[in-house]
Structure 1
Amino acid sequence: MQGLNFTVFDFETTGLDPQKDKVIEMAAIRVCDGQVVGEYSTLINNGPVSPKITEITGITNEELEKGLDEKTAFQILNRFIGDNVLVAHNAAFDLSFLHFSLMRIAGKSFQNQFYDTLTISRDRHFYPHKLTDMCARYDIELEGAHRAINDVYGCWNLLNKLHEESKVDSWMNKLGYLAKYGAPKWTPDYAVIFPTENKYEPRGY
């Protein structure tokens, strides 16, 4: 990963469908020469959200009313990303929301290279592979999971741990998906997608 600049990002959303659901919180950090040089985080006035989403994220409708409008939030994020390599945990989810949001707002998508820490985690480790689980495995502090900025720092630290363990360079633009659920509905046209299955730790009898 030497010589690359990164934008690690995470979205909290109103649901799981990037074509109809909306982003309600976004966060990102810019990393240059291995150092965090910028941070961006905002709520977005895309409510109302269901009680279930509030339960998962802790984000209330009252808080969202004070958030940025969607267009401004994504314009700032787009400039923040620039031509950096994108990093996310379960990147298929966040990249699809980035794509459909940009298409709706600006009429064009992105072409950034990316790393998905979930794909690498599934290849190297037994189930489970949620960000909280992976951070725990590597003794990475992760407080307040499912709030975007906390997840962003956790994801960046996880990528570094994975790279220290065994270089991740060959995983750029690769997206593994669970075969039983089928391929994602949308991925970048330059992504290398492939089916995979969770590996489970053998249990003694």
Structure 2
Amino acid sequence: MDVVVFDLETTGLSPEKDAVVEIGAVRIVNGRVDESLRYETLVKPTNAAGDVIRIPWYTERIHGISDEMVQHAPTIGEVLPEFLEFVNGSAVVAHNIGFDGGFMRANAARLGLAWNPAAEFCTVQLSRRAFPKERAHNLTVLAERLGLNFAPGGRHRSFGDVQVTAQAYVRLMELLQDAVK
């Protein structure tokens, strides 16, 4: 199945109170990651009223995205229709789909758009199935477990996380299919 793997960086953890500051995505076609089919943009963070909000220092420390970096970026109102067109009703994958999907649903609802992918898959849940005796399933640990590496400066940036999540998804699906045989 062809899927879109995506990742968001945000100002915090609440889809209702916080904002998206970066979206990265890549398409998997016929079981292969196709980085020529990618979507990547910074996003100027805005609240529900459309007012620009600042990126808190503690989230900037995680993803490295500053207010200056997003100063001239498009808003979620400009970006989300483009991203939905990129997804085009495909199934989507994220590492912790509840988080990323929650932000997409909340923003789409605010903008009068529909977040309706064909299906949603979570690499955290797939990792738990593939490695049931392991306790940790965060992206860093999963990457190590599968022998995957982040590009320099790629961890906690949307496209860097997407590259590893996409590779992890392909490998996890292979592992789980082999386990069923």
- Identify the residue that residue 121 of structure 1 maps to in structure 2: 127
Distance, in Å, in 2 between the alignment partners of 1:25 and 1:108 is 20
TM normalised by structure 1 equals 0.76
- Identify the residue that residue 147 of structure 2 maps to in structure 1: 139
1:128 CA drift (Å) = 1.4
Q: How many residues are aligned here?
A: 166
Distance, in Å, in 1 between the alignment partners of 2:31 and 2:177 is 15
State yes or no: 1:85 paired with 2:91.
yes
Q: Is the 8 A contact 1:83 1:112 kept in 2?
A: yes
Distance, in Å, in 2 between the alignment partners of 1:147 and 1:167 is 30
Q: Is the 8 A contact 1:5 1:31 kept in 2?
A: yes
Distance, in Å, in 2 between the alignment partners of 1:159 and 1:62 is 33
Query: Unaligned stretches of 5+ in structure 2?
Result: 46-52
State yes or no: 1:71 paired with 2:84.
no
Q: Is the 8 A contact 1:141 1:154 kept in 2?
A: yes
Distance, in Å, in 1 between the alignment partners of 2:157 and 2:72 is 17
State yes or no: 1:39 paired with 2:47.
no
TM normalised by structure 2 equals 0.86
Runs of 4+ in 1 over 3 A off after TM superposition: none
- Identify the residue that residue 172 of structure 2 maps to in structure 1: 162
Question: Any idea what the Cα deviations from partners look like across 1:154-185, whole Å, max 9, x if unmatched?
Answer: 111001111221229x9xxxxxxxxxxxxxxx
- Identify the residue that residue 153 of structure 1 maps to in structure 2: 163
Partner letter of residue 31 of structure 2?
G
Q: Is the 8 A contact 1:26 1:41 kept in 2?
A: yes
Q: Secondary structure at the match of 2:148?
A: coil
Q: Secondary structure at the match of 1:12?
A: strand
1:53-68 aligned within 5 A: 53-68=59-74
Q: Is the 8 A contact 2:7 2:24 kept in 1?
A: yes
- Identify the residue that residue 50 of structure 2 maps to in structure 1: none
Q: Is the 8 A contact 2:28 2:166 kept in 1?
A: no
Q: Secondary structure at the match of 2:12?
A: coil
Distance, in Å, in 1 between the alignment partners of 2:92 and 2:37 is 14
- Identify the residue that residue 49 of structure 2 maps to in structure 1: none
Between the two proteins, what is the percent identity of the paired residues?
28
Q: Is the 8 A contact 1:30 1:80 kept in 2?
A: no
- Identify the residue that residue 3 of structure 2 maps to in structure 1: 6
Partner letter of residue 175 of structure 2?
E
Partner letter of residue 108 of structure 2?
L
